Amino acid sequence: MRDNIYAVGDVREKPRPEEIYTNYAILGRYILTPEIFEILRALPPGHGGEIQLTDAISALCPAGRVTAVDFEGRRFDTGNLFGYLEAQIEISLKDPVVGPWLKNYIKERASVL
């Protein structure tokens, strides 16, 4: 295995500070097998009163069925407006068609702020 690939022993949805046991976080990118649906059907509501995908993934951990990749790169929290906008700007600036236009637009706007 490569240095950035790990077997996962457990995952938790939004742990309280005293429950945190690692510096790693789930980024919400998964490759799931069909067995996850059977586990989800049998789960009681978890955090926030919702059926949690994280709980179903956790159920696969004891059997050694979960592998993680330590992501290298910039992560955007697109679950909130500011993170979503940051991601859109960063991606757009790298686009060969949109990038030059957006760069000029940002400079124009910044000059009047």
At residue 84, the 3 state secondary structure works out as helix
d(C-alpha 32, C-alpha 57), whole Å: 9
pLDDT band at 1 (very low <50, low <70, confident <90, very high): low
Task: Give the H or E element holding residue 7.
Answer: strand 5-7
What would you report as the CA-atom Rg of the chain, rounded to the nearest whole angstrom? Answer: 19
pLDDT-wise least confident of 9-13, 17-21, 24-28, 97-101:
24-28
> Which two structure tokens, joined as six digits, stand for 100?
């030059």
Span 57-110, pLDDT tens digits: 999 999 888 999 988 888 888 889 999 999 999 999 999 999 999 999 999 999
Please state the domain extents for the chain.
5-69, 81-111
Q: Please report, for the chain, how many H helices and E strands are present, in that order.
A: 4, 2
Distance of CA 57 to the CA centre of its chain: 14
